[in-house]
A and B are shown apart, each in its own frame.
Chain A
Amino acid sequence: EAAVTQSPRNKVTVTGGNVTLSCRQTNSHNYMYWYRQDTGHGLRLIHYSYGAGNLQIGDVPDGYKATRTTQEDFFLLLELASPSQTSLYFCASSDRTESNERLFFGHGTKLSVL
């Protein structure tokens, strides 16, 4: 079973604060993703990556940076956090081959920006 670990599980910061969310996967998956989950919007893709050093823009990238340092590690950075970024953030990974596109999700990080 694929394992995706996110940290921290909960984070509270103030407007203008600097936040880094971490994600590590141990399944040698090429693809990693950051989503945010909000009531009424479902899951929306922020950034994703298909390998170390690669970064692709998702559907709601404004206000977020991301960095994939290794195949295992993918970070989401909020350099000037705003209350609109209060959300539940999920990291996911996948092989995304023709026959297997299944996403494996971490447990989520609940971020509150006051």
Chain B
Amino acid sequence: GEKVEQHESTLSVREGDSAVINCTYTDTASSYFPWYKQEAGKSLHFVIDIRSNVDRKQSQRLIVLLDKKAKRFSLHITATQPEDSAIYFCAASLAGNKLTFGIGTRVLVRP
């Protein structure tokens, strides 16, 4: 089955800088790649996704890049703010199938 590896377990950035989280996947047939955010003590919520028919997607300060050849995708958080501090999970699936999650990256935005 699909395996998703999330390469950074923790990331510390200065407020205003960018944070980049990298994930790789194993199944070349995977075509859907969402990201979820979990703030301290809270549940997860969706932040952004990308499908395999594009290689870049942006939503406000969030940018997702997809490199299908390398089976790699990444989340870029630009102009980081304190409220960006959280655990971020990447995930992958074949369209319409169950998601496989990475282990999460804890992002800390320092003043």
Residues of A within 8 A of B (CB): 33, 35, 40-45, 48, 56, 58-59, 90, 96-98, 101-108
Q: Are A105 and B34 in contact (CB-based, < 8 A)?
A: no
B99 part of interface (Cβ distance < 8 Å): yes
Q: Are A107 and B93 in contact (CB-based, < 8 A)?
A: no
Q: Are A105 and B44 in contact (CB-based, < 8 A)?
A: yes
B101: A residues at CB distance < 8 A: 35, 42-44
Closest to A45 in B: B98
Q: Are B43 and A107 in contact (CB-based, < 8 A)?
A: yes
B6 part of interface (Cβ distance < 8 Å): yes
Q: Are A41 and B46 in contact (CB-based, < 8 A)?
A: no
Closest to B1 in A: A59
Q: Are B99 and A42 in contact (CB-based, < 8 A)?
A: no
Given contacts A42-B103, A103-B36, 4 further A-B pairs with CB under 8 A are A45-B100, A98-B95, A98-B96, A103-B46
30 contacts between A and B (CB under 8 A): A33-B98, A41-B103, A42-B6, A42-B89, A42-B102, A42-B103, A43-B44, A43-B101, A45-B98, A45-B100, A56-B98, A59-B1, A59-B100, A90-B44, A96-B96, A98-B95, A98-B96, A101-B32, A101-B49, A101-B93, A101-B95, A101-B99, A102-B34, A102-B49, A103-B36, A103-B44, A104-B45, A106-B43, A107-B42, A108-B43
What's the least CB distance linking B97 to chain A, in Å?
9
Closest to B93 in A: A101
